């Protein structure tokens, strides 16, 4: 199968399933006018704070609407996620170490944002995240929401210093007998640390408290056994100048090959656990030979043998798309690094100098699969060619073509 065609088909499948698998959760929206509606919001477990979202008034409705920050004050999904609109002073200082300013002071602009509520009580903690940075905000008694300040800046001699004003902000405004100075001194600008601190403060004041954890607060590891079936071949192309009598180009046939491996997958803790990264080391071998007439006056024949053993290390990204509670499909893409267990492609004569040294390059894989009960999966996988003789570039090229195959998987953890 042509690689460009496979990429096109994969993109089409991705688009089709992405749109067909939209799920909506019981939610509410509070508008600026004060009116509240119960509805169903598409819960994407956003990594970056959303500027808008999709919702509909009933599960069986075909009308999907867009909620925007222009007229929405607050929205929540079940009892685990809540976003509230606030107009805040927002520090736009760069956190790119190549573009740090020389001032420790924040560079504020006024912005209206959806802030994700993490802790609700006498003291409230909020989070905002975009592609560049994560920021935390707080308020006391729902009066004014302020950013907790953390800023890196350059001092003399291009030394990077850090303004950790957030510690003083919390020390000045969240006083409680149970909170000691050392509690703040060691407090990191980190979601987990800050949530724990705000819980400590609210409990100290004996007030009501609610913590919004979201559905997927943590990632998850999966371990699988993998068995694959492919029909690889090898195409050797030799520079014929000076080698016509002892080395020639050769096409070795497709041979059935079993692939045995194991996979470690980490499910990422956002977007409803639909994304993961994985590594899948696997052992495979290929063995074939080709005899040909060298064309010399002595009618000499030559045999080339490929006895190729290797371990692949695909490192990739996977996206799941749920069909129902027990079934999901997935798309994967990986870059493959190879550890060669064989040393050479053998031209069978008395001179080892004619053999080609094996030193594999990297290649890529694309896959489309189905998984049942979060345990059994079947994947169609296309693996691109790779050159087995990268050290022999001036003499020969041997392309190992795996092509399209089938991979079966069983998750045991």
What pLDDT was estimated at residue 295?
A: 62
Cα separation, 23 vs 328, whole angstroms: 13
Q: Which of 307, 278, 252, 292 is nearest to 367 (CA)?
A: 278
- The two structure tokens encoding residue 13: 């499948």
How many CA atoms within 13 Å lie on the side-chain side of 226? 27
Residues 6+ apart with CB under 8 A from 367: 330, 331, 332, 333, 334, 379, 380, 381, 382, 407
Q: 288 with 328: CB under 8 angstroms?
A: no
Q: Which of 379, 12, 7 is nearest to 227 (CA)?
A: 379
Q: Which of 35, 44, 192, 16 is nearest to 118 (CA)?
A: 192
pLDDT per residue of the chain (413 residues) written in tens, 0 to 9: 455 555 555 555 555 554 445 578 999 999 999 999 999 999 887 888 999 999 999 998 989 999 999 999 999 998 889 999 999 999 999 988 888 999 999 999 999 999 999 999 999 999 999 877 899 999 999 889 999 999 999 987 778 999 999 999 999 999 887 777 777 888 999 998 999 999 989 998 887 899 997 655 567 899 999 999 999 999 998 876 554 555 678 889 899 999 999 999 999 877 777 899 999 999 999 999 988 776 655 556 778 899 999 999 999 999 998 887 688 999 999 999 999 999 999 887 656 667 889 999 999 999 999 999 889 999 999 999 999 998 887 778 899 999 999 999 999 87
Length reported for the chain: 413
Q: 304 with 344: CB under 8 angstroms?
A: no
Q: What is the CA radius of gyration of the chain?
A: 30
What pLDDT was estimated at residue 20?
A: 46
What pLDDT was estimated at residue 353?
A: 66
Residue 6 Ramachandran class (φ > 0 left, ψ -120 to 50 alpha, else beta): alpha
Domains of the chain, CATH where assigned: 3-211 (no CATH), 220-411 (2.40.160)
């Amino acid at each position: 199968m042509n690689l460009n065609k496979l990429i096109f088909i994969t993109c089409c499948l991705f688009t089709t399933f992405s749109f067909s698998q939209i799920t909506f959760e019981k939610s509410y929206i509070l508008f600026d006018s004060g009116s509240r509606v119960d509805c169903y919001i598409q819960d994407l477990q956003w990594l970056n704070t959303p500027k808008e979202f999709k919702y509909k008034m009933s599960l069986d409705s075909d009308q999907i609407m867009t909620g925007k920050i222009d007229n929405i004050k607050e929205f929540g999904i079940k009892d685990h996620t809540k976003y509230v609109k606030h107009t805040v002073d927002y520090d736009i200082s760069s956190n790119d170490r190549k573009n740090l300013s020389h001032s420790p002071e924040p560079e504020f602009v006024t912005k209206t944002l959806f802030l994700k509520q993490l802790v609700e009580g006498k003291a409230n903690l909020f989070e905002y995240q975009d592609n560049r940075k994560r920021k935390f905000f707080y308020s006391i008694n729902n009066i004014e929401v302020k950013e907790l300040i953390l800023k890196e800046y350059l001092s003399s001699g291009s030394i990077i210093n850090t303004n950790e004003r957030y510690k003083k902000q919390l020390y000045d405004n969240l006083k409680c007998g149970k909170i000691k100075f050392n509690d703040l001194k060691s407090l990191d600008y980190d979601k987990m640390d800050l949530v724990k601190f705000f819980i400590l403060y609210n409990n100290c004041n004996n007030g009501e408290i609610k913590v919004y954890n979201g559905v997927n607060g943590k990632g998850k590891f999966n371990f699988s056994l993998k068995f694959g079936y492919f029909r690889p071949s090898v195409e050797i192309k030799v520079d014929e100048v000076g080698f016509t009598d002892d080395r020639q180009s050769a096409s070795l046939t497709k041979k059935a090959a079993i692939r045995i491996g194991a996979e470690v997958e980490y499910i990422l803790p956002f977007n409803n656990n639909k994304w993961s990264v994985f590594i899948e080391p696997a052992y495979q071998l290929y063995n074939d030979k080709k005899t040909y007439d060298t064309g010399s006056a002595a009618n000499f024949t030559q045999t080339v043998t490929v006895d190729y053993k290797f371990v692949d290390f695909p490192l990739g990204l996977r996206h799941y798309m749920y069909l129902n509670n027990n079934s999901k499909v997935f798309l994967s893409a990986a870059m493959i690094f190879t550890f060669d267990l064989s040393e050479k492609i053998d031209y069978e004569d008395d001179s080892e100098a004619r053999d080609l040294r094996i030193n594999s390059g990297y290649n890529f894989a694309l896959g489309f699969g189905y998984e049942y009960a979060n345990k059994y999966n079947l994947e169609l996988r296309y693996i691109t060619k790779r050159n087995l003789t990268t050290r022999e570039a001036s003499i020969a090229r041997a392309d190992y073509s795996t092509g399209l195959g089938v991979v079966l998987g069983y998750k045991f953890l």
